[in-house]
Structure 1
């Protein structure tokens, strides 16, 4: 995957580490090249986030990093039909960032989905990788995939049960997120609605997207590749067959251990804060 040579991205990669301004230019160019490929492939943009510039506006300096999230509703629906919990790692996302002074691009491939969610090989997962291959053609010299070497089923997933129905759970969680003074609301992605538009039946499944530029910038500063799943934190709210509602989100410390073999105090602090915030939001009063 990502092996074809491409001249589409007209950016010369220096052999020595680049200065911050030059690195930001390369990250921006890679981001725009992927965004163009997403549009040309007919995929649906969901959201894009400029980690470094948002962090800077909040008074935190960090290396260049930008993530884009986009969707193929047919593939999402097929994968969710096999395992609804996989929605935590959907839809597509591509991170362009400063990889120690050289442009780096990272994405999540089918192997990651299979390892973390116990999925078997399928046409949908093959389609997932094929879509990524096409989108990453402009930057394939720099593209890698999220590590799977130590990944196991449910690795790093924090799960909470909700005593409420889907709609009320989502509203309570959204209210709790918006009440955080240092947090930005990026939006929500309703997988079931998109599936129904294609005649596919799914349980309730909604992804809530938000982030804290200041705490996120601190957490990512030396761990940039976790920006694939952090800073734009993903809160996945879903229904089981019996109608019970559960909430999944990523443990930042676990992601850091997966990517770098280590974590830092801000990661554990963020995990504790998120768990407390969401637990309180879902507590019956």
Structure 2
């Protein structure tokens, strides 16, 4: 009788695992479908693809399980130049980005609106904000698979969730030292960087030096996103903006992961604080 009971339990366990695996496959397929729909719509709108990152698959390759989540960044250099002319710090939230992710079994899309940029960075150029949403809506209005939703702006004030470090070096030297520090970490992937000053020059717009560095850690990022997949819009790919300050030395700004988790979920966990501490230590060690 015990052997029969054990056999029944084994069969039930295998069946439950099979059901869970099929559910995971369905959720991943739904996220992939919405991701591809965004990618197609962005291309149709004439936006330039910058990077795409598959959070869950990268994390899985490092042995970390998290819900399906994929982010993509696409750009309009002319619009970027106008926004950055208003406030260079807005580069932390550029270029356009959309996150496709599984939200408790439902495929979801998240994006950052001009309202978020305006409140976080004190933007005042109304025409640029209108153009920002118009260009983004060219993409989002084409989507039929999943209804996109903007990140909440409730409680977002100037410099909300922005962490800052002042460098003792100029922008170029700071970027090189930061890249060396980041790539020296065995669990981190370097995705690239965007030279906003050069991009603006191509549009006949003069900007102070400013570069956006893009990198991420699949394993620690996957742990931090396991219960909080929506934060993948702003983290892992981690964004670090390095721009020229008033004294000629670089200023570094980056996202407070714990604060962004609280914005989206009303709470944060220890891994978010630990990642903030790790980023601070890495960046300060490179530029101070």
Q: Structure 2 residue aligned with 1:207, among 207, 212, 216?
A: 212
Asked if the contact 1:23–1:98 (Cα under 8 Å) also holds between the matched residues in 2, the reply is yes
Q: Structure 2 residue aligned with 1:163, among 163, 168, 187?
A: 168
Q: SS in structure 2 opposite 1:139?
A: coil
Q: SS in structure 2 opposite 1:150?
A: coil
Counting helix residues as a fraction of each chain, which structure ranks higher? 2
1:253 and 2:258 matched: yes
Q: Structure 2 residue aligned with 1:24, among 15, 24, 28?
A: 28
Q: Give the drift of 1:121.
A: 4.9
Q: Structure 2 residue aligned with 1:118, among 117, 122, 132?
A: 122
Q: SS in structure 2 opposite 1:68?
A: strand
Matches of 1:230 and 1:182, distance apart in 2: 15
RMSD: 1.1
Q: Structure 2 residue aligned with 1:189, among 182, 191, 194?
A: 194
1:150 and 2:155 matched: yes
1:262 and 2:263 matched: no
1:10 paired residue number: none
* Divergent runs of 4+, >4 A: none
Matches of 1:212 and 1:137, distance apart in 2: 32
Q: Give the drift of 1:164.
A: 0.5
TM-score by length of 1: 0.91
Q: Write out per-residue CA displacement over residues 204-225 of structure 1, whole angstroms, 9 at most, x where no aligned residue.
A: 0100000000000000010111
TM-score by length of 2: 0.90
Q: SS in structure 2 opposite 1:69?
A: strand
- How many residue pairs get aligned? The number is 266
Matches of 1:279 and 1:143, distance apart in 2: 37
Matches of 1:38 and 1:240, distance apart in 2: 33
Q: Give the drift of 1:85.
A: 0.6
1:51 and 2:55 matched: yes
Matches of 1:138 and 1:20, distance apart in 2: 27
Asked if the contact 1:191–1:206 (Cα under 8 Å) also holds between the matched residues in 2, the reply is yes
Matches of 2:142 and 2:24, distance apart in 1: 22
